[in-house]
A and B are shown apart, each in its own frame.
Chain A
Amino acid sequence: MEYILTVMVLIGINVILATSFNLILGYGGLMSVAHPIFYAIGAYCSGLLAIHLQIPVPLSILIGAAIAMVLSFGVSLPSLRVSGDYLVIASIGFQLGILHVINNLEFTGAAGGLTNIPVLNEGPSRSLVFVLLIAVVAACAVLLVGWIVEGDYGRAITAMRNDEEAFSALGRNAMNIKIVLFAIGSGMAGLAGALYAHYFAYVTPEQFGIFTSAALLTMVVVGGAATTWGPLVGAVLLTTLPQAITFLGLPVSIMAPLQGVIYTTLVIFFLFARPQGLTGGSRGGGGLEAWSASAAFRARRRAE
């Protein structure tokens, strides 16, 4: 039972992460892969505040999320100058740079990780209560993103993603939208990180590396970029799938790389065969259009 509840907590965390990543990558078309670093910032800041300053956990969670929001400038400012593949590179630099700092600082626990983080709630039904809490937060995350991308603001986001230059030439300010999308998306990732830290009481730097970026990308692509429910479907599938594989009883030397192989295969398969993901309509793809082989194909055919 405890195992199932723990998996459900992970699903909830991943729904928040994938949904917020989808806001930036899928809807905004902002090709940042640094999303896990805001997850890390939320986890570490909130954990450290609770450990060293004895700040009450609920408050430290909110502060952790707020710090992630503010530090999103680290990616949103470069995104004003570079886009597409160049932003991927800039964001990887930002992610690995901060990770390197965390890895080498004494007070973050360095490579060994941050331990003894105070938990949010205790008691016999601690996991169940936490699952309910995370379900509420995840539902709010999905609804918030759904609200942002609908209507007039969503139209502006779509237009910016389609053609930023044409968008700016019509008097619209792309800079504001980028900063807002990164701030909200990263704040949500920070919240997920802080919740994670105060449930598992332990975080390590390696949880927030490129592998996590790939996992989140897979969730968004498989579920459906720029759709409301896609990241939710993707997060549920890709959190339970690796858990299911563990029951196969394969040796660790095969298990560990297998996950990475599955993720990358899925991303490539979907970008080629079904860029709109599982939930997307006929015209999906969102910000990943540029990477999607079939969309490029369609565009070329139209041009001819």
Chain B
Amino acid sequence: MSTIVRVEDLHKSFGGIVVADDVNLSFEAGEIVGLIGPNGAGKTSLFNLISGVIPPDAGSIILEGHRVDQLPMHHRARIGLARTWQNTRMFHSMSVIDNLLIATRRYPGESLARILFRRRSVDAFRQEATEKAMVLLERVGLAEKMHEMAIELSYGQQKRIGLARALMSDAACLLLDEPMAGVEGQAYETIIRVIREEAQAGRAVCVVEHNISFIRDISDRTVFMFNGCVLASGSVDELTRDTQLTDLYFGGEHPQ
């Protein structure tokens, strides 16, 4: 297995609140890592640090051999990072298919000059992106919604669109922030299948989720975070057997 993302001694604090306290982690190709911990443990902040929403105070983030911690967000995404958001963050005045098209690797509307002078390549890019978007919508079971406004779908459906959108760029690393929130029934199985397929295709996947049974179902390895620290790593069962961790998860005290 090769390492896709390596986080080394990553540190970030906002005033007195430490959201990443010398975090060391790595995500391997083909591996699904579950990231759990109580609210405020720093799980989403870790995603924000890796994807570039917030800059780290110290430490490094290495994506497929490139150091990316100083690069702007869009640059990291192009090298191979894709993420979803806890609150879906659909482009609200756009249709589902347009939401996906934005995320394609070779975006046809990247520059006005290109649209003006390289009509044919732009058309080809759009064709390629549209086909890919259709396949992904099919996979998450929402192909029939392609022309609806993304914001008018249910929360669970938006989560699935968010997942499909993140898959548009074929990124080597997928960071999924609570993909199961609001997702029920058949869609639950669909998402598990899609995430597994992506891992099998050689991507490194990291999932933040409060639904422990989902994490147990899907993850190869689970990491427990608390107060910005990685406290433990192992299988869900190993972690849940540790009473100290379960106490912390369910509102225990800070370990002295």
Residues of chain A whose beta carbon lies under 8 Å from any beta carbon of chain B: 148, 151-156, 158-159, 162-163, 165-176, 180, 283, 302
Contacts and interface: CB of A to CB of B under 8 A. Distances in A.
Contacts of A151: 109, 115
Contacts of A158: 91, 93-94, 98
Given A152-B115, A156-B102, A170-B102, A165 B91 contact: no
A13 to B, nearest CB: 25
A168 B72 CA distance: 9
Contacts of B115: 151-153
Contacts of A170: 74, 77, 82, 102-103, 165, 168-169
Interface in B128-156: 149, 151
Given A153-B109, A158-B91, A165-B73, 4 more contacts: A151-B115, A163-B89, A166-B89, A171-B107
Interface in B75-131: 77-78, 82-83, 85, 89-94, 98-99, 101-103, 105, 107-112, 115, 122, 126
B201 to A, nearest CB: 19
Interface string B30-60: 0000000000000000000001110000000
A162 B91 contact: yes
A171 B102 CA distance: 9
Contacts, number: 91
B126 A152 contact: yes
Nearest to B51: A169
B83 A159 contact: no
A169 B53 contact: yes
A176 B107 CA distance: 14
Contacts of A163: 89-92
Nearest to A184: B112
A156 B107 contact: yes
A171 B105 contact: yes
A171 B93 contact: no
Interface in B203-240: none
Contact of A156 (B90, B105, B109, B149): B109
Nearest to B125: A152
Contact of B91 (A154, A166, A283): A166
8 contacts: A148-B112, A155-B109, A162-B90, A166-B91, A167-B91, A168-B72, A171-B74, A171-B105
Nearest to A151: B109
Given A155-B98, A156-B102, A166 B85 contact: yes
Contacts of A148: 112
A159 B77 contact: no
B179 to A, nearest CB: 15
Contacts of B110: 156, 172-173
Nearest to A167: B102
Contacts of B165: 170
